[in-house]
Structure formats: structure tokens, C-alpha cells
């Protein structure tokens, strides 16, 4: 019994931090499930980004704010950290940096999808 409890404790200790590491939540929309911040703001990818590198310059970041990592965020699995044009850490999923859109005013807005044929909701 003692061995079983230790094993359960080890599984919880190694599994729970991994679950807590995901910086986004998935929300149901008319386009299916999409990634959003904890506040429900839709996240986007940019076609001009390179794998693991943001190509959204400082002017671009005014309209498309980077989804910044906070605290001592750690990359894990499909999640990685890249630097934005200001040198701040931002989240990337599958190597694609993630952004919000200044034109989205409330939770659930997806006004940036398809913008300039280069911006897409993150799924």
C-alpha cells in the first residue's frame, strides 16, 4: 500500500506541472476550437514568421501584440519561447509565435483571422 501511494505521488508530481505549463486555453467558436489567453482573447499566427522566430517588427507589434511569457515560464513539449522584436520572451506553439490582435475588443472576438491573408487563428 505504501509503495502504491508513493507511486501515485510520483505520477502526480510529474504530471501536474506539465498540465499547468500550458499558457493558453482552448475555446469553442464558430470556427471550432481555437487557442485563447486566460482572459479569452484569441491568439493568432503570422505567415511571415520563420520556424521558432518572430518576424513581426516593432510597428507590427503595435497592432499584433506578442503573447508574452510571464514569470519563470518554461518551454515544454510543443510549447517554446522565442523573442519578439523588443527582445521579450513570447510563446510559440509548434514553432509558430503567438499574438493577440488590437482589433479584438472582447473575449471571443476573432477580427484578425485572415487579415492581409497572413494572420490566422491559432488552433
Q: pLDDT per residue over 12-54, tens digit each?
A: 444 444 445 589 999 999 889 999 999 999 999 999 999 999 9
Mean of pLDDT over the chain: 87
Within-domain flag for 16: no
Q: Per the domain annotation, does 6 fall within a domain?
A: no
Q: How many domains does the chain have?
A: 1
What is the structure's pLDDT at 107?
Answer: 93
- The predicted pLDDT at position 21 comes to 53
- Domain containing residue 78: 23-121
In a domain, 64, yes or no: yes
Let me know if residue 9 belongs to a domain: no
pLDDT at 57 over 60: yes
Does 116 reside within a domain?
yes
Percent of the chain with pLDDT over 90: 78
What is the 3 state secondary structure string of the chain? CHHHHHHHHHHHHHHHHHHHCCCCEEEEECCEEEEECCCCCECEEECCCECCECCCCHHHHHHCCECECCCCCCCECCEEEEECCCCCEEEEECCEECECCCCCCCCCCCCCCCHHHCEEECC
Q: Tell me, what's the pLDDT at 17?
A: 44
Helix, strand or coil for residue 22?
coil
With a threshold of 0.95, does the pTM exceed it?
A: no
Amino acid at each position: 500500500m505504501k509503495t502504491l501511494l508513493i507511486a501515485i505521488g510520483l505520477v502526480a508530481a510529474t504530471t501536474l506541472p506539465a498540465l499547468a505549463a500550458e499558457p493558453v486555453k482552448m475555446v469553442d467558436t464558430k470556427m471550432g476550437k481555437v487557442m485563447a489567453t486566460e482572459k479569452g482573447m484569441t491568439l493568432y499566427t503570422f505567415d511571415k514568421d520563420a520556424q521558432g522566430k518572430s518576424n513581426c517588427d516593432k510597428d507590427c507589434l503595435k497592432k499584433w501584440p506578442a503573447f508574452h511569457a510571464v514569470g519563470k515560464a518554461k518551454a515544454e513539449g510543443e510549447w517554446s519561447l522565442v523573442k519578439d522584436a523588443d527582445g521579450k520572451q513570447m510563446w510559440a506553439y509548434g514553432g509558430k509565435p503567438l499574438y493577440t490582435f488590437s482589433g479584438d475588443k472582447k473575449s471571443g472576438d476573432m477580427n484578425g483571422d485572415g487579415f492581409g491573408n497572413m494572420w490566422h487563428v491559432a488552433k
